[in-house]
A = this chain, B = another copy of it.
Amino acid sequence: MKDGLLTERQMEVLRYRKQGLTQQQIADIIATSKANVCTIEKSAMENIRRAKETLDFLYTLDSTHLCTIPAGTDLFDVPAMVFSEAEKLNIKVKYDTISLINHLRESKPKSYTARSLFENVEAYITNEGEIYFG
Q: Tell me the A residues contacting B by CB distance below 8 Å.
A: 2-6, 11, 14-15, 18, 46-48, 50-58, 61-62
Contacts and interface: CB of A to CB of B under 8 A. Distances in A.
B51 A5 contact: yes
Nearest to A2: B50
Copies of this chain in the oligomer: 2
Contacts of A47: 54
Task: Report the 6 A-B pairs with minimum CB-CB distance, sorted nearest first.
Answer: A4-B53, A4-B54, A51-B54, A51-B51, A5-B54, A4-B50
A6 B54 contact: yes
Contacts of A5: 5, 50-51, 53-54
A62 B3 contact: no
A56 B101 CA distance: 27
B53 A50 contact: no
B57 A4 contact: yes
Contacts of A55: 48, 51-52, 55
